[in-house]
């Protein structure tokens, strides 16, 4: 089947060494993928599962290379890298392979009696050729999770990893090349110039993860081609601590999730609201937790900031009175874990998504006033609430929209493959992960079958006075 696609097209778009971004012949690549899709090559569920198993095998084989690449790009501690990138991706593939036949099975639905005899069902169909554009902070997971979903749904895929994690991008490209033929899945490597080229092409599904500013460009491009899009964006994820939350456990959970990957996580707690009479205890516990975690061997346990621009941006947000654990090392892009104990809504650190190892703590007196403020903020990806009282938790969850909510912990809701992941409003649109990913990359096709017997309820002219009897029937 593949032989029917001109090989010169593929050779011109896929060379062995990563070419200069604009050297990709994207038109040829897209034509080759579209031809492959039209051949029906990706329709078989068995084929999709086999390809995903092949991807899993490559991931297992290259996991040490991935860990080394993630250490080189982001100084990720090996355990963090393994759990959040390699293990997570393998776990998702296994789940999808196990459940795919069930998800893809057409769902029978009923028929109105006046269509009898008829059979109707909803089928899940692939869109065609999908574009996936990934960010740098979890360069493996955030490339592979949508890719697995797109392949599971039967699409062909063009994946662009982030240029800011170049070592990971290279290994990913090698893994994909070993697991798929390029008519099915291809990686194109490069930065914003390549991104701008991609925006000129027509994809059948667009999937973008990254900043709001660039997300708008992808949104506009998808609209130009009337194509569906998932936008996975960012924002400031708030944490609200109630006066009855147990301080030690609450602090431990906030600190662990905030400083994972040096705070460069889209769903990391961004800032914490703490009742003013518990503020002192909270700050003392947070400082102790940071010291426990990072006072010895900080460089082995905390990731680096991705580049010098981001390093300087985050450092400029840190005021003199901040609590720092350890020393900064700009050469190594190591930023000491930081608490800002008396933050206010007006501080510079509260004016943008931090995306770094800096935690502002805002003492509050009036929870209703804080809820009002939170509800007027751009909707975040995640909302974290700590309390033993369900009425407290549910009242804030109802008042403050967010892509997800986690009660009494952080990030867990987003790493459960049984839950859909995504934002709302400014933090994005669409859902993926596990079944939600399969659904994102496929559309529902309504199918009705009838037989050639006489129609007892045929509506056809001349209508005569049948309206009256029809009305009686519908009463």
Which spans of this chain sit near ligand NAD (rule: CB under 6 A)? 133-137, 142, 160, 162-163, 191-192, 195-196, 199, 209-211, 214, 217, 232-234, 266, 353, 355, 381, 423, 428
Residues 317-322: contacts with CB within 8 Å, 24+ apart? 317/348, 317/349, 317/352, 317/354, 317/356, 317/358, 318/349, 318/358, 319/347, 319/349, 322/358
Nearest to 345 by CA among 230, 238, 245, 425: 238
Check residue 155 and report its DSSP letter.
-
Least distance in Å: CB of 414 to ligand NAD? 8
DSSP 159-219: EE--TTSHHHHHHHHHHHHHHS-TTTEEE----HHHHHHHTTS--SEEEEES-HHHHHHHH
Q: For residue 177, with 0-12 CB atoms within 10 Å meaning exposed, 13-18 middle and 19 or more buried, which class applies?
A: middle
- Tokens encoding 361: 């703590």
Report d(CA 447, CA 467) in Å as an integer: 29
Residue closer to ligand NAD (CB basis): 282 or 384: 384
Nearer to ligand NAD, 167 or 217 (CB): 217
Nearer to ligand NAD, 209 or 442 (CB): 209
Written as six digits, the tokens of 385 are 């609430």
Nearest to 14 by CA among 160, 251, 187, 142: 187
Instruction: Give min distance, CB of 445 to ligand NAD, in A.
Output: 28
Of 65, 95, 106, 94, nearest in space to 82 by CA = 65
Least distance from ligand NAD to the Cβ atom of residue 199, Å: 6
Residue given tokens 């929870």 in the structure block = 367
Q: Are 40 and 21 in contact (CB under 8 A)?
A: no
Q: How far apart are CA 472 and CA 475, in angstroms?
A: 5
Sort strands 156-160 and 428-429 into parallel, antiparallel or unpaired. unpaired
b/e sequence 110-142, b meaning 16+ C-beta within 10 Å: eeeeeeeeeebeeebbbbbbbbbbbbbbbbbbb
Please state the closest distance from residue 232 (CB atom) to ligand NAD, in A. 3
Residue 61 vs residues 57, 66, 140, 185: alpha-carbon distances, Å:
6, 10, 15, 19
What is the DSSP secondary structure assignment for residue 428, as one 8-state letter? E
Residue 51 has φ and ψ, to the nearest 5°, of: -65, -40
CB of 286: closest distance to ligand NAD in angstroms?
23
- The torsion angle over the Cα atoms of residues 33, 38, 42 and 45, rounded to 10 degrees, is 160
The residue among 209 and 257 lying less far from ligand NAD, judged by its C-beta, is 209
Nearer to ligand NAD, 42 or 257 (CB): 257
- Minimum distance, C-beta of residue 460 to ligand NAD, in the bound complex (Å): 52
Show the tokens assigned to 473: 């029937």
Report in angstroms how near the CB of residue 179 gets to ligand NAD at its nearest.
Answer: 21
Min separation Cβ 411 and ligand NAD, Å: 12
* Cβ atoms 294, 337 nearer than 8 A: yes
List residues with catalytic annotation.
Answer: 232, 266
Rounded to an integer, what distance in angstroms lies between the CA atom of residue 235 and that of residue 120? Answer: 43
């Amino acid at each position: 089947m593949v032989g029917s696609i001109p090989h010169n097209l593929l050779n011109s778009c896929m060379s062995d060494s990563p070419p200069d971004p604009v050297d990709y012949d994207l038109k040829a690549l897209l034509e080759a993928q579209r031809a492959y899709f039209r051949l029906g090559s990706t329709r078989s569920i068995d084929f999709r599962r086999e390809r995903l198993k092949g991807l899993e095998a490559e991931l297992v084989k290259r996991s040490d290379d991935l860990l080394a690449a993630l250490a080189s790009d982001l100084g990720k501690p090996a355990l963090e890298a393994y759990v959040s990138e390699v293990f997570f991706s393998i776990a998702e593939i296994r789940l999808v392979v196990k459940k795919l036949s069930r998800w893809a099975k057409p769902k029978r639905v009923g028929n109105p009696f006046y269509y009898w005899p008829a059979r109707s069902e909803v089928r899940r169909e692939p869109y065609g050729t999908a574009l996936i554009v990934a960010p740098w902070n979890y360069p493996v997971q955030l490339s592979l999770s949508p890719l697995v979903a797109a392949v599971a749904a039967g699409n062909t895929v063009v994946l662009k990893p982030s240029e800011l994690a170049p070592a990971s991008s290279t290994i990913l490209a090698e893994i994909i090349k070993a697991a798929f033929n390029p008519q099915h899945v291809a990686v194109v490597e490069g930065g914003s110039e390549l991104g701008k080229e991609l925006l000129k092409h027509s994809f059948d599904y667009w999937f973008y993860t990254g900043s709001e500013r660039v997300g708008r460009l992808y949104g506009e491009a998808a609209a130009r081609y009337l194509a569906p899009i998932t936008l996975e964006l960012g924002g400031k994820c708030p944490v609200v601590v109630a006066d009855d939350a147990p301080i030690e456990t609450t602090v431990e959970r906030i600190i662990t999730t905030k400083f994972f990957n040096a705070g460069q996580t889209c769903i990391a707690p961004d800032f914490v609201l703490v009742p003013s009479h518990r503020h002192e205890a909270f700050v003392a516990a947070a400082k102790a937790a940071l010291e426990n975690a990072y006072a010895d061997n900080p460089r082995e346990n905390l990731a680096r900031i991705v580049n010098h621009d981001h390093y300087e941006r985050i450092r400029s947000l840190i005021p003199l009175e901040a609590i720092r654990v350890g020393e900064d090392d700009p050469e190594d892009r190591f930023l000491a874990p930081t608490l800002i104990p008396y933050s206010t809504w007006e501080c510079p650190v509260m004016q943008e998504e931090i995306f770094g190892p800096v935690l502002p703590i805002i003492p509050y007196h009036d929870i209703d006033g804080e809820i009002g403020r939170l509800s007027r903020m751009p909707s975040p990806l995640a909302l974290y609430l700590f309390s033993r009282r369900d009425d407290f938790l549910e009242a804030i969850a109802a008042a403050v929209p967010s892509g997800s909510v986690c009660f009494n912990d952080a990030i867990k809701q987003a790493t459960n493959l049984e839950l859909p992941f995504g934002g709302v409003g400014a933090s994005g649109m669409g859902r993926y992960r596990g079944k939600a990913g399969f659904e994102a990359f496929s559309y529902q096709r309504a199918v009705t079958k009838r037989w050639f017997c006489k129609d007892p309820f045929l509506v056809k002219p001349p209508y005569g006075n049948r309206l009256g009897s029809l009305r009686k029937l519908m009463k």
